């Protein structure tokens, strides 16, 4: 199922900073959200594609510049020049499609890793028999692991447990 809808200024609500929100049910987008999967979306401003898509929530409001995402139960977007999309005279169009059942899911752009204070004693990261304990991984090692495993990662959040 594909959906193309013009975003009416009457449905836009200010979210925060440069961000504006539209409730998915008001534009029929909820019909594409099944089993927790998000539809593939593209947003156009007067025929020009905006982006980046699936932006980080905090960056949509603070940086704007065409960022958008379906997040926190709303479709949140910004104008290309961070103006008010209700009054800037431009037309906004959302084009969405349901991913195919066998289509691979996109790689994550944000990863949360829970750090604990407990030691596994069998891991080979911080201790080897020859070297003893090393308390941290080097920044270069962490960067290499992130780039090699998930090249799309833009943000790594380390949470202390």
46 pLDDT more than 80 = yes
Residue 87: what pLDDT? 96
pLDDT band at 134 (very low <50, low <70, confident <90, very high): low
| 11 torsion bin: left (phi>0), alpha (psi -120 to 50), beta (else) | alpha
161 pLDDT more than 70 = no
Over range 9-30, report the average pLDDT: 89
**DSSP structure string for 88-150:** S---EEEEEEPPPTTSPPPPPSEEEEEE-S---SS-SSSEETTTEE-----HHHHHHHHHHH-
Q: Rounded to two decimals, what is the model's pTM?
A: 0.62
Write the pLDDT tens digit of every residue in 96-127: 877 666 666 666 677 766 666 555 555 555 55
């Amino acid at each position: 199922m594909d959906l193309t809808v013009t975003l009416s200024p009457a449905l836009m609500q200010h979210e925060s900073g440069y961000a504006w929100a539209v409730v998915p049910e008001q534009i029929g987008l909820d019909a594409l959200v099944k089993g927790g999967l998000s539809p593939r979306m593209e947003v156009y401003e007067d025929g020009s594609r905006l982006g980046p898509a699936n932006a980080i929530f905090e960056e949509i409001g603070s940086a704007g510049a065409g960022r958008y995402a379906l997040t926190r139960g709303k479709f949140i977007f910004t104008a290309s020049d961070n103006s008010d999309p209700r009054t800037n005279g431009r037309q906004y169009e959302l084009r969405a499609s349901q991913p195919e059942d066998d289509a691979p899911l996109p790689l994550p752009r944000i990863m949360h890793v829970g750090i604990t204070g407990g030691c596994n004693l069998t891991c080979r990261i911080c201790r080897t028999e020859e070297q003893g304990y090393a308390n941290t991984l080097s920044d270069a090692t962490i960067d290499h692991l992130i780039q090699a495993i998930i090249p799309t990662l833009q943000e790594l959040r380390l949470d202390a447990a």
